[in-house]
Structure 1
Amino acid sequence: MDPRPEEHAISTTPPATELRFGVNYTPRRGWFHAWHDFDARHAREDLAQIAELGLDHIRVFHLWPLLQPNRTLIRTTAVDQLAHLVDLAAEVDLDVMVDGVQGHLSSFDFYPEWTRSWHHRNVFTDPEAIEAQATLLRTLGKALAGRPNLIGLQLGNELNNLVEHNPVTVHEVDHYLDTLLAAARDGLGTAGLVTHSAYDAAWYGDDHPFTPQASARKGDVTTVHPWVFSGDCARRYGPRSPQVHHLAEYGTELAKAYATDPARPVWVQETGAPEPHIPAADAPLFARETLLNAASCTNLWGITWWCSHDVDRSLADYPELEYTLGLFDSQGKPKPIAEAIEETITEVRTLPLTPSPRTAALVLDCTPSTRSTSGPGGAFFEEWMRLRAQGVRPAVVLAEHAGDSTYLAARGVTELIDAG
C-alpha cells in the first residue's frame, strides 16, 4: 500500500479505535420492497457476500409505511423482521446501524397514508406526527437494545429530503431532531449510538433549514453523505479529479469545523460511484482514493459505502445512476469496485496508520445564505481543493473560532489561512 508519508505518521500499535468499513445494505431481490415478504434465506445470502469482502458493518432500512401504517399502530411483525435481520448479520460477524424513519431512499419517498392526501400532516411540525415518530423510535430502540452487534439507532435516512413537501424552519428542525433523538435514546438505553443524517444540502445549500450546526452538534456522531453528484462535482471537475478523489475527506473536515467538541467523531456514512458521474472503469480508483484520503482525517469513525447490491433493472422508474451503485451486480456477482474496496481495507488494516493532526486550517466565513461557497463550484471549496492539490492538508475552521486559541490548540491548528 502507498503509505502516504506526507499524510500519516506510522504507528507501531493500532489506533485506540479501529476505523470501521461497511456498506449500506440494499436487498438484491426486490430492493427495499423485499420487506413486504421478508425472506431470511435471501438476506443470509446477501449478508454472507458482504462479509466476504472484509466489511465489518452494514446500515439497514425498513420502510416507515410498513412499520407504522397508522399513527397509533406499530406492526410487531415488521419490528420483528428488523430484529431478525440484525441477528442474521451477527451470524456473519457484521455489526448493524438501523435507520428508523424511511422516509427517503434512492429518489423515492415513503410516507404512511396517515400523513398524506386528506390526512396530510407536516412530518416535521405537526405535534402528533412528531410524537408518532418518537413512539416508533422508542419501540425500535427497545426491540433492538442489548444485541451486541447493534451499532445504534439513527432517526432515518436523509430526512431533509422531505422538506420540499413539508416546509419547516431552522427552529422547527431543531425541535424535531431534539425530540426524536431523545426518544431514540430513551428506547435504546445507554448502549449504542444515536444519530441523524442529512444529504449535502445541509452543508452546501443556502438557507436550507437543516443546518451544518444541527448535523455537527446533535446526536453522538456527525454523519456526512459526500456525493459526487452534489453541485455536479464529478461533471464539473472530472471523475479522476482531485476534487472528486478528495471529496469525502473534504466533507469530513468541513463537518469537523462546525462541531463544538473538537474530538467529535465524523462518519462518512454514504459515498458511492454513480454512473455516469463516475464511469465504471474509473470506479475502482475512485473507491481506493476515497477510502485512503478520508482515512487521513483524525476523528473519523468509519466509511460506509452506498450500496451493497445494484437495483435490478426489472424495477422501473429509478434515475439511471441508482441502478449501478452496488458493490455486487443484481445477480450477486462482485464488481471490480468491490475488489478494490476489499483490497484497500485489507491494506489499511494490515498497516494501521495514525492520521496526524492538520496544523494548517482554511478559515470559512459564511452565513446561512452564502453556505454554497463551501460546496462544489464555491470559492471556499475551490481554495481548499487548490491547497490540497499542492500537498497542503488543510483543516477547516469557522471564522468565529479563528481567534480562540484554546479551540485551535485542541484541534492542533497552528496556522490559519485566509480563504480570500
Structure 2
Amino acid sequence: MNTMRFGVNYTPTRGWFHHWLDFDLDEVRADLDSIAALGLDHIRVFPLWPVFQPNRTLIRPRAVEQLVQVVDAAAERGLDTAVDGLQGHLSSFDFIPSWTTTWHRRNLFTDPDVIDGEVHYLRTLAAALAGRPGFLGVTIGNEINQFSSGPHPDPDRITPAQAESWLRKVLAACEEGAPGKFHLHASYDAAWYQDDHPFTPGHSALLGSATAVHSWVFNGTAQRHGRTGTATEQHAAYLIELSKAWATDPHRPVWLQEVGAPAPHIPAGHAAEFTEATIAAALDCPDVWGITWWCSHDVDRALADFPELEYSLGLLTTDRTVKPAGAAVARAVEQWRGREHRPAPRTTALVVDAGDRVSAPARSVCAPGGAFFEAWMRLAATGARPTAVLAELAGDAGHLAARGITEVLTVDQVEHP
C-alpha cells in the first residue's frame, strides 16, 4: 500500500540550529511532542557541519551522540527521521567549516582533501544512525548546490560533470555507512530554472533514492501571479511533475522536501488557505513519497539578522502553539491517515525543450515567466492535470505508455488568454 508521508523540517524553538552548541534533550523532546501532536510521521533534522566536523580529521563524538539522541527521541514519539549532512546553507546563513574557507580556501566539490573529509563525515553519520529505529537516511545537504554558482557571493564554481562526480562520491559514502537507506541530495530551484547552473535537472531526477524538490513561491511566482494564482498554489505540484521529464524510472518517487508559506508573498491571514491548496495540488501528483513542510517552529525574534520572512514560517510558534497553517496540515494528515495514495495518471504532457538533456542549457523556459512554465500553468488553470515530457521523448511511444501519457501538447498549442 502506498501511504503518503507527512512531516516537517525540525527547527528547534530554543536557539534555532545553534541549539547544537547548548544541547538540551528535554527541550528537543518538548519540541518533538508538539510536532507529533499534529499527527506527522517524520522529521528532517540539520546537524551544523562546522559544529560536528570542526577540523577535517575531527568528527566530534559528542555531537554525533547528540544526533543519535534526537533520532531516538523522535522514534519514541512515532516520528521517523531524515538527517541532512553538509550544513551547509540554512535560512540565508552559510555554515562552512573553517578548513574550507579564507586561509584554507578550497573548492567544496573538487578538492580531493575536502572530498575525503566530506566522505568520512557522511559515512560516519550514516553508520552511527544505521541501526537506530526510525532512521530513514541521509540527504547530502540543504540546497548545497547554492555554493556552486551565482547568486552566491563567493561560489565554488564547477562544471555539470564535476557536480555529478561529487554527488556520486558523497551518495556512495552514505550508502557505505547505512546500506539500503533512503539517501538522496537536494537542490534549490536553480537546478531546474537557471540555464548555466552546474547542478542539473538530470542530477536531481537520476541520482539518489528519490528526487527532492523545494518549492518556494518567493522566486517570482507569487510576485507575478499573486497569492491565489494557479501558479502560486500549484508551484509545488509543478516542480513534482517537471522533475518527471528527466527521470528514467516512470515511477521514481518524488519527495516534496521543503515547501512553506512565506510572508508577505503569502500573508499570515492566507497561510492556511495556501497550505491547503498546495497540499491538495501535490497530492494530485502520482508517485509522491511525502510532503515535508518548512518548518516546524517559528524562529525566535531574539535572534538577529534573518530575512523577515524566515521568522514566521513555522507551523507552531516558539512557545509551541499551533498556528492556522499547522492546523491545516493536521487536517490533511487526519484526512489521509490510512488511505492509499494512488492518484490517476496525468495523461496530458506538455513538451519541455531545455536543450541538451544532460546540461539543460535553456532550462529558464521552466522558470516563472518562462514559456514552458506559463503554458503549464495556463493548462492547469483550465482544470487540466498536466505533466512534463522532454522534447526528445515526446515521440517515444514506450516512454509515454509507461507514464500513462495519452496526449502530448507543445507550448505553442496552449492558447494565451
Using the TM superposition, give the Cα deviation of residue 348 of structure 1 relative to its aligned residue in structure 2, in angstroms: 2.5
Paired residues for 1:337-416 under 5 Å: 337-349=325-337, 352-367=340-355, 368-416=360-408
SS in 2 for 1:151: strand
Q: Give the aligned partner of residue 418 of structure 1.
A: 410
Using the TM superposition, give the Cα deviation of residue 196 of structure 1 relative to its aligned residue in structure 2, in angstroms: 0.4
Q: Give the aligned partner of residue 22 of structure 2.
A: 37
Structure 2 residue 135 is matched with structure 1 residue 145: no
Q: Give the aligned partner of residue 326 of structure 1.
A: 314
Unaligned runs of 5+ in 1: 1-15
Q: Give the aligned partner of residue 162 of structure 2.
A: 172
Residues of 2 paired with 1:153 and 1:182: CA distance?
11
* Cα displacement string for residues 278-306 of structure 1 (whole angstroms, at most 9, x for unaligned residues): 00111001101111110011110000000
SS in 2 for 1:209: coil
Q: Give the aligned partner of residue 260 of structure 1.
A: 248
Residues of 2 paired with 1:128 and 1:188: CA distance?
23
Q: Give the aligned partner of residue 204 of structure 1.
A: 193
Using the TM superposition, give the Cα deviation of residue 352 of structure 1 relative to its aligned residue in structure 2, in angstroms: 4.3
Paired residues for 1:99-110 under 5 Å: 99-110=84-95
Number of residue pairs the alignment of both structures matches: 403
Residues of 2 paired with 1:382 and 1:326: CA distance?
30
Structure 2 residue 140 is matched with structure 1 residue 155: yes
* Cα displacement string for residues 170-196 of structure 1 (whole angstroms, at most 9, x for unaligned residues): 111011100000011000122x21100
Q: Which residue type is aligned with residue 197 of structure 1?
A: A
Note if contact 1:240-1:282 (Cα within 8 Å) is conserved in structure 2. no
Paired residues for 1:259-298 under 5 Å: 259-298=247-286
Note if contact 2:257-2:290 (Cα within 8 Å) is conserved in structure 1. yes
Using the TM superposition, give the Cα deviation of residue 58 of structure 1 relative to its aligned residue in structure 2, in angstroms: 0.3
Q: Out of 217, 225, 231, which is 1:228 matched to?
A: 217
Q: Out of 110, 114, 124, which is 2:109 matched to?
A: 124
Residues of 2 paired with 1:382 and 1:291: CA distance?
21
Q: Give the aligned partner of residue 22 of structure 1.
A: 7
Structure 2 residue 60 is matched with structure 1 residue 85: no
Pair 285,414 (structure 1): closer, same or farther in 2 beyond 3 Å? same
Using the TM superposition, give the Cα deviation of residue 334 of structure 1 relative to its aligned residue in structure 2, in angstroms: 1.0
Q: Which residue type is aligned with residue 175 of structure 1?
A: S
SS in 2 for 1:236: helix
Note if contact 1:23-1:305 (Cα within 8 Å) is conserved in structure 2. yes
Q: Which residue type is aligned with residue 140 of structure 1?
A: L
Q: Give the aligned partner of residue 74 of structure 1.
A: 59
* Cα displacement string for residues 115-140 of structure 1 (whole angstroms, at most 9, x for unaligned residues): 11111111111111011100001101
Note if contact 2:140-2:186 (Cα within 8 Å) is conserved in structure 1. yes
Residues of 2 paired with 1:388 and 1:418: CA distance?
14
Where has structure 1 moved over 3 Å in runs of 4 or more? Answer: 350-353
Residues of 2 paired with 1:316 and 1:223: CA distance?
30
Q: Which residue type is aligned with residue 335 of structure 1?
A: K
Q: Out of 161, 174, 182, which is 1:184 matched to?
A: 174
SS in 2 for 1:125: coil
Q: Give the aligned partner of residue 239 of structure 2.
A: 251
Residues of 2 paired with 1:292 and 1:58: CA distance?
20
SS in 2 for 1:124: coil
SS in 2 for 1:369: coil
* Cα displacement string for residues 349-389 of structure 1 (whole angstroms, at most 9, x for unaligned residues): 36545200011110111123321111111111111111111
Q: Which residue type is aligned with residue 25 of structure 2?
A: A
Residues of 1 paired with 2:20 and 2:261: CA distance?
26
Q: Give the aligned partner of residue 4 of structure 1.
A: none
SS in 2 for 1:270: strand
* Cα displacement string for residues 374-409 of structure 1 (whole angstroms, at most 9, x for unaligned residues): 111111111111111101111110011112111111
Note if contact 2:351-2:390 (Cα within 8 Å) is conserved in structure 1. yes
Residues of 2 paired with 1:415 and 1:189: CA distance?
40
Residues of 1 paired with 2:370 and 2:337: CA distance?
35
Tell me the TM-score normalised to structure 2 length.
Answer: 0.95
Note if contact 1:21-1:303 (Cα within 8 Å) is conserved in structure 2. yes
Residues of 2 paired with 1:410 and 1:93: CA distance?
36
SS in 2 for 1:406: helix
Residues of 1 paired with 2:163 and 2:265: CA distance?
32
SS in 1 for 2:346: coil
Q: Which residue type is aligned with residue 107 of structure 1?
A: S
* Cα displacement string for residues 190-211 of structure 1 (whole angstroms, at most 9, x for unaligned residues): 2x21100000000011110110
Note if contact 1:372-1:378 (Cα within 8 Å) is conserved in structure 2. yes
